[in-house]
A and B are shown apart, each in its own frame.
Chain A
Amino acid sequence: MTTSMNASEAIRIDGVTVRYGRKTAVDRVSLNVARGAVYALLGRNGAGKSSLVRCMLGEQRPQNGSVSLLGEDAWTRRTTLMQRVGVVSEEADAPPSMRVDALARFSASLYPRWNRAAFDERLARFSVSERARFGDLSKGQKKQVTVALALAHEPELLVLDDPTLGLDVVARKSLFEEVIAELADCGTTIFITTHDLAGVETIADRVAMMVNGRIVVDEELESIKGRFRRVRFAAARPAAVGNLATAAVRTWGAGTEMIVTNYDPASHIDAAEVSSMSLEEIFIAVTGEEGGAR
């Protein structure tokens, strides 16, 4: 089934709700991802990211709403869609007894566009032996093999579900460099859920944040970083903060520190210090406290 979606959209999620018994894991989530974009979905553990990804990949049917990938319904057209989608799942789920080359052979027989040379080249870059059993690889190597498998059929859309989970710093860096390199090669759309905010900050075009199953932030990374500021006042009670929206207010020495979510460089604020925030700081501000800044 082909749903109506803009040709420039790679992912369209409309009002998706996922419940497990009485618990609502994903609550009426809607989002669009443009083709060629790198979209990062951030959220704390249990925020509903993996459930949303499972719905996106046609592995789980939402109670309400619909998901379209590359113009086709993810549930009903999953089999054909997966020829155009690469998936790096949260847990390395390949059978431990399979050797890497057997995994490659198995995958090659399932994809019409399988680029064995590209797979071998990535494997060599990761220094992973083809004869190694998947179960004998380190966590980082497993992830690298999974990424190599996910990219070998030259997908139009790459979905990475928390790909850096459990990886050390070097492995994380290597993974993101590989993804970035792939992006540079051919504008593949990337949808990534992760806790590694530093890594994603370097590659993401657009960021969404999920809290308790709901999307609370969904905008361009630069836009977010532009409107979030840490503002410090010398006085305990600033006389006038104008129309600043604050995500958090706390004591700063003898003065006050505010996390401002609608900072406008043109407006004049009589503050002691105005500093920009990293994505991690913004994420903490948004998701760290219930009902944080949106």
Chain B
Amino acid sequence: MTHLLTIARREIEERAFVFVAAIAIALVAPAALLMPYGSFTDRRSVAVIVSFCLGLVFSLGLALVLGTTLIGRDLSEKRLSFYLARPVSPSSIWFGNLTAAFALLVLSFFIVNAFPLALGAAEFRLMSAVSRGSAVAYCLGVAVLIMLAAHVFSTWLRSHSPILVLDFVALIAALGIVSGALFPLMLAVALRPASQIVAVILLAVIVAAAGGGAWQLSRGRIDVRRNHRELSIFVWCVVFLAALGMFAYSRWVLAVTPKDLTEVTGIQRGNLAEVHGAGRGFFPHFMVNPATGAFAPGGKFVSAQDGDVSAVVAPSPSFENAKIAFWRAQFGNGGGVPSDWILTITRLAQSPQQIATLPLSGHVQALGISGDGSRAAVVVDGILTIYDTTSRHALASSRVGQVSAAIQMTFVAPDTVRAFVPDQGRRTLNVRDFNVGTRQWTNVAGPLALMSPYLYRVVGPLLVTRAPAQAEVRDLRNPSAVQTVPVDANSHIWFMRDGRQALSRSGAPAYFEIRRGGVRERLVNFGPDVESVRVAGEISDGRLVVTTYRRSKKYPSDNTTYLLDPRTGVLGHPMAHVSAAIDWPTSIGMSDPAVTHLALLNREGGEMDAVDLRTGAVRHVF
């Protein structure tokens, strides 16, 4: 240690002129304060920004110069004997030089930037959007990285050794491994694991270069080529170890399953549940079949109206395997889908079974999947195309018409696609069926006047449209009969299969009433501390799956789910701290005969139960 410090002191003394240069540059920018222009505040801002930029350039340039002369110059000019002829170890020589270079870098950085650091808090925020401390840490970190990288590259280049070719190959390979670790994580929006990988790789580079210097000197001493060889061995061993470790970590992160999730939330998608939560450092999404527990990782899901088929839309062409691609559109089915994607259709029965993949290009406006997954209806730029997903052949195409709002597609028969096409300007809806065999359109209903320019949901023959304070339900079998229901932010209404409505109203306490034809049949109370209640589904025997919310100090969101018998008002099968996934995110819902299973999510343990809507049985899924 003494020798290390002795060498460091000697090196600093030899390069003391750096401090003089730093002081000279530090004095340049404040001189701007004396210039006769603008207000003093403006001049100060200019001086601070100019000073910081100058200081940054100086520090990065100094890092480059120090790095290239750290040991490499003495080595190539055969001046290393000055140290090696004395009783100092190679590691003392290296770390002494490194300590000196680091001290020169840090001290000169603070000298050059003394002015902006002392006065420029506001300008720092303006320039970098990070705090002064963070900006200093980043700048010095980059400078150290440049210095060490410069040492490595200068050692390699000065040796004129053919090993340089192998270094280049190793560099490409290492970049390939790191890219292979990072890009899937970026696509999965796993930013924390990705940033951890970047940090580990940067740390490995620093360790490799810093440790490599000692290693090369200890084994190569004055032999320039041997120094190169030993440095390469050390650097690439460390870098590849880190890169392969991070590649494995990346694969481990992406191999996340629903069992790994905590703080789970879910959205019902027909018979499937889109589940997401925190797991392995990010927020993965899964499509889960609550009936079987089968799951598929994915991003944007489009479920078939019935059956166990889901479609996962994944980016292409680099990541065709949708199981490692996570992407989630923010708005609606098909809306906002960029061009060039792979539609992956997966059957979620007992285990995930990929049925087909289909490349999509252009702006996809709507997607529909047949119940068995054999056909996909895609609307791109107003053109509907029906694909056979197995052969990827287009079976038929037709223009949908002017599409001014999000349209919806659903297969009503294997050869028939129903298109719900709203006209935003006229506030009307056209419902038309397209037959794949005849390639003909058949008008089902419309134009139907809508209370809002958007069609909210389609449930079998029922169309739901909603506005801020009311909802409209229209039966396609009798389109002229429109049922209008008042709903607002504090109420929730559920249309039951037998025509009754379950209306809940939030408040303290929240209450719940069953109505038929606008007349209250039963009032259900949940207790004084329950603030809201909503229905998630209806079991075939008429019982409702309801989730209540109460304020709690212990739990941030204290939910309890019950099976409520609307005939008697009895709340059965209470499930504490369990919330039912809903398919109806706003304050209106409807029993869908095609939905046979409902996901219940235990938010605490990240576990999921499923309720069989045919029998009312609750089963643990994961």
Interface residues of A (CB under 8 A from B): 54, 57-61, 78-83, 87, 89, 91, 93-95, 97-98, 102, 106-107, 109-111
Nearest CB on A from B74, distance (A):
9
Across chains A and B, the number of contacting residue pairs, with CB separation under 8 Å, is 64
Nearest CB on B from A172, distance (A):
22
A106 to B2 Cα, complex, angstroms = 11
Contact across chains for B223 and A61 when beta carbons are under 8 A apart: yes
Q: Which of B14, B79, B82, B87 contacts A82 (CB 8 A)?
A: B87
Check: B3 CB closer than 8 A to any chain A CB. yes
Contact across chains for A59 and B87 when beta carbons are under 8 A apart: no
Instruction: Return chain A residues, CB-CB under 8 Å to B80.
Output: 59
Closest 9 CB pairs of A and B: A87-B85, A82-B87, A83-B87, A93-B82, A79-B89, A109-B6, A59-B222, A59-B84, A59-B221
A6 to B601 Cα, complex, angstroms = 83
Taking CB as reference atom, which chain B residue is nearest A54? B222
A110 to B83 Cα, complex, angstroms = 10
Check: B10 CB closer than 8 A to any chain A CB. yes
Contact across chains for A60 and B79 when beta carbons are under 8 A apart: no
Nearest CB on A from B151, distance (A):
19
Nearest CB on B from A67, distance (A):
13
A44 to B525 Cα, complex, angstroms = 110
A117 to B82 Cα, complex, angstroms = 22
Contact across chains for A60 and B222 when beta carbons are under 8 A apart: yes
Taking CB as reference atom, which chain B residue is nearest A153? B87
Instruction: Return chain B residues, CB-CB under 8 Å to A87.
Output: 81, 85
Instruction: Return chain B residues, CB-CB under 8 Å to A60.
Output: 221-223
Instruction: Return chain B residues, CB-CB under 8 Å to A80.
Output: 87
Q: Which of A58, A94, A106, A111 contacts B221 (CB 8 A)?
A: A58
Instruction: Return chain A residues, CB-CB under 8 Å to B86.
Output: 82, 107, 110-111
Nearest CB on B from A26, distance (A):
14
Contact across chains for A93 and B79 when beta carbons are under 8 A apart: yes
Contact A109/B2 with A60-B222, A61-B221, A97-B14 known, Cβ cut-off 8 Å = yes
Tally B residues with Cβ within 8 Å of A. Answer: 22
A95 to B79 Cα, complex, angstroms = 9
Q: List 27 A-B contacts (CB under 8 A).
A: A57-B84, A59-B84, A59-B222, A61-B226, A78-B84, A79-B89, A81-B87, A82-B85, A82-B86, A82-B87, A83-B87, A87-B81, A89-B85, A93-B78, A94-B82, A95-B14, A95-B79, A98-B10, A98-B13, A102-B10, A106-B6, A106-B10, A107-B86, A109-B2, A109-B3, A110-B3, A110-B88
Nearest CB on B from A110, distance (A):
5
Taking CB as reference atom, which chain B residue is nearest A92? B82
Contact across chains for A93 and B88 when beta carbons are under 8 A apart: no
A89 to B82 Cα, complex, angstroms = 9
A59 to B80 Cα, complex, angstroms = 9
Taking CB as reference atom, which chain B residue is nearest A150? B85
Instruction: Return chain A residues, CB-CB under 8 Å to B88.
Output: 79, 82, 110
A91 to B82 Cα, complex, angstroms = 10
Contact across chains for B87 and A110 when beta carbons are under 8 A apart: yes
Interface residues of B (CB under 8 A from A): 2-3, 6, 10, 13-14, 78-82, 84-89, 219, 221-223, 226
Instruction: Return chain A residues, CB-CB under 8 Å to B13.
Output: 98, 102
Given A58-B221, A93-B78, A110-B6, output 6 extra A-B contacts at Cβ < 8 Å.
A59-B85, A82-B86, A89-B85, A98-B10, A98-B14, A102-B10
A110 to B82 Cα, complex, angstroms = 12
Contact across chains for B81 and A93 when beta carbons are under 8 A apart: yes
Contact across chains for A91 and B14 when beta carbons are under 8 A apart: no
Instruction: Return chain B residues, CB-CB under 8 Å to A94.
Output: 82
A95 to B2 Cα, complex, angstroms = 20
Instruction: Return chain B residues, CB-CB under 8 Å to A81.
Output: 87
Taking CB as reference atom, which chain B residue is nearest A18? B223
Which one of A58, A59, A111 has the greatest number of beta carbons of chain B within 10 Å? A59
Contact A95/B82 with A60-B222, A61-B223, A106-B6 known, Cβ cut-off 8 Å = yes
A81 to B86 Cα, complex, angstroms = 9
Nearest CB on B from A85, distance (A):
8
Instruction: Return chain A residues, CB-CB under 8 Å to B81.
Output: 57, 59, 87, 89, 93
Instruction: Return chain B residues, CB-CB under 8 Å to A102.
Output: 10, 13
Nearest CB on A from B388, distance (A):
66
A78 to B86 Cα, complex, angstroms = 9
Taking CB as reference atom, which chain A residue is nearest B84? A59
A79 to B85 Cα, complex, angstroms = 9
Which one of B6, B81, B223 has the greatest number of beta carbons of chain A within 10 Å? B81
Taking CB as reference atom, which chain A residue is nearest B89? A79
Which one of B3, B84, B221, B226 has the greatest number of beta carbons of chain A within 10 Å? B84
Instruction: Return chain A residues, CB-CB under 8 Å to B6.
Output: 106, 109-110
Instruction: Return chain B residues, CB-CB under 8 Å to A97.
Output: 14
Instruction: Return chain A residues, CB-CB under 8 Å to B10.
Output: 95, 98, 102, 106
A95 to B6 Cα, complex, angstroms = 15
Nearest CB on B from A4, distance (A):
24
Instruction: Return chain A residues, CB-CB under 8 Å to B3.
Output: 109-110
Contact across chains for B84 and A58 when beta carbons are under 8 A apart: yes
A97 to B226 Cα, complex, angstroms = 29
A82 to B81 Cα, complex, angstroms = 12
